[in-house]
Chain A
Amino acid sequence: MYGKGFSQHLLKTISNLNIGVREGEILAVAGSSGSGKSLLAHAALGILPKNAVIEGGMAWRGAPLDAALHKRLRGREIALVPQSVAYLDPLIRVGRQISNDSQTVGRLFARYHLKPGTEKLFPHELSGGMTRRVMICAALAGGPKLVIADEPTPGLTPHLAEHAMRHFREIADGGAGVILITHDIDLAVRHADRIAVLYAGTAAEVADASDFADAALLRHPYSKALWAAMPQNGFVAAAGAQPYAGELPPGCLYAPRCPECSPECMAAPPQPRSVRGGEVSCCNAH
């Protein structure tokens, strides 16, 4: 990115991030803005900008996921459900945007309760809820094994949001993996199987959604702080803020805010490890 004036520097926005999604599950990637959740989605889709510097790798069903494989999978086996209507072409009837095969379109529309004839409409003729279902159909047309949903609910009424989430559950039940990207931890707890809590570009914890029932079940101090800040759990605000990429502390990224911080936390970033069936990047988790 660009700094002041004409200087240009490298920003380390994601570090030590290890996440996997399994077939048939909804994995929520929850984090505040700047936590790297959108970058993670772009990486999974293979659409990071050209000037991105990437270390480490991704794997797809055991095979290394490189640019060539990405090109083959994207839009077919890996599909995106975008945030907004803006992703539909306003000048093309929605049926043609989903698939050239009218049978596929008909089958998908029937499954998502879109009336026959909807395929002949233009995007602006759809209501909000219909648009969302059309975009889900578009993602499903290629028979994906992995669906990435990028903040699918803001702007929806609670009723429509529940509906949308039910669709994602159906997709997962159909055998695909679903990555649900959201800043709304409440939504993640209610609808995902597992939750990856992102903090400053690293996965603080990957836990079963059911672990969010009680702070004692959680492993990372940041997840516990998130839990405590939810209105139903007391609305307690932890002090401090997520550090910026470029101003990251040398050790554990949460150390400056952590109530349980010990000297070793300041020294080196903790490696992810398994604790009570979840993954956590914290030296003191037990």
Chain B
Amino acid sequence: MRIEVRDIVFGYTKGKKVLDGVSLSIEAGERVALVGPSGCGKSTLSQIIAGALKPESGEVLFAGKSLPRRGFCPIQLIRQHPEKAVNPRWKLGRTLAEAWAPDDSFLAAMGIEKAWLDRYPAELSGGELQRFCIARALAPETRFIIADEISTMLDVITQAQLWELLLHAASSRGLGILAVTHSERLAAHVSSRIIDFTPHMP
């Protein structure tokens, strides 16, 4: 069940390509880091691989087939700003339940306190919200996690905490991880293979 990305082309405005023929592959259970400066199209590529954005051309294959158009996506994307990734009008328990129904021991392992389930996103810190985003992405159907700068806006201790629990969950369940980051040091810590993603910058 590997991910194969073939010849992805994408541009937000006509004539200006953000991604121009990108190909890569990730094996099941593999940890890969995608490193490059901000603005190079890493986030765009992450969204395309997770099926959140349609490329102009090229394809993303999961286990040899294109991603299902309906149903739970086995490639889950976690993004940089958790406060944007949750509905501000929903309590976090509901946000979590939208994805799946984790049990108490899973929540404890994620460092999520039960009281937080009854709170609104504005009542939690970025690091706490990101725990929810990680937890809901770790549904039973998930096979790959794309972590797009998930700790960039957080302090180093919180960053280390989040990666610790993500890596632990991934290794115990054999999930593959694509870590997208601008930090080579972080990449070296969380992955076994680094893809340098510095395309033709202007």
Contact = CB atoms under 8 A, between A and B. Distances in A.
A155 B37 CA distance: 9
A159 B37 contact: yes
A128 B39 CA distance: 11
A231 B188 contact: yes
A235 B127 CA distance: 16
A259 to B, nearest CB: 13
A185 to B, nearest CB: 6
A225 interface: yes
B126 interface: yes
A248 interface: no
Contact of B127 (A157, A232, A238, A241): A241
Interface string A100-124: 0000000000000000000000000
A226 interface: yes
B153 interface: yes
A226 B127 CA distance: 15
Interface stretch (A28-36, A48-56, A62-70, A167-175): A28-36
Interface in A138-192: 154-159, 183, 185-186
Nearest to B184: A231
A186 B160 CA distance: 14
Interface residues of B, number: 25
A225 B157 contact: yes
A186 to B, nearest CB: 7
A230 B189 CA distance: 10
Contact of A157 (B38, B152, B163, B186): B38
Nearest to A232: B185
Nearest to A242: B125
Chain B at the A interface: mostly helix, strand, loop or mixed? helix
Interface in B159-195: 159-161, 163-164, 182-183, 185-186, 188-189
Interface residues of A, number: 28
A155 B38 CA distance: 6
A158 B42 CA distance: 15
A229 B154 contact: no
Given A33-B126, A226-B155, A241-B128, A235 B160 contact: yes
22 contacts: A32-B155, A32-B157, A33-B125, A33-B153, A33-B154, A155-B39, A156-B38, A157-B39, A159-B37, A183-B155, A226-B156, A229-B156, A229-B159, A230-B156, A230-B185, A231-B185, A231-B188, A235-B163, A235-B189, A238-B160, A238-B161, A241-B128
Given A33-B125, A244-B125, 17 more contacts: A31-B155, A32-B157, A32-B158, A33-B154, A33-B155, A157-B37, A157-B39, A158-B182, A183-B153, A226-B157, A229-B156, A229-B157, A230-B185, A231-B156, A232-B185, A236-B160, A237-B163
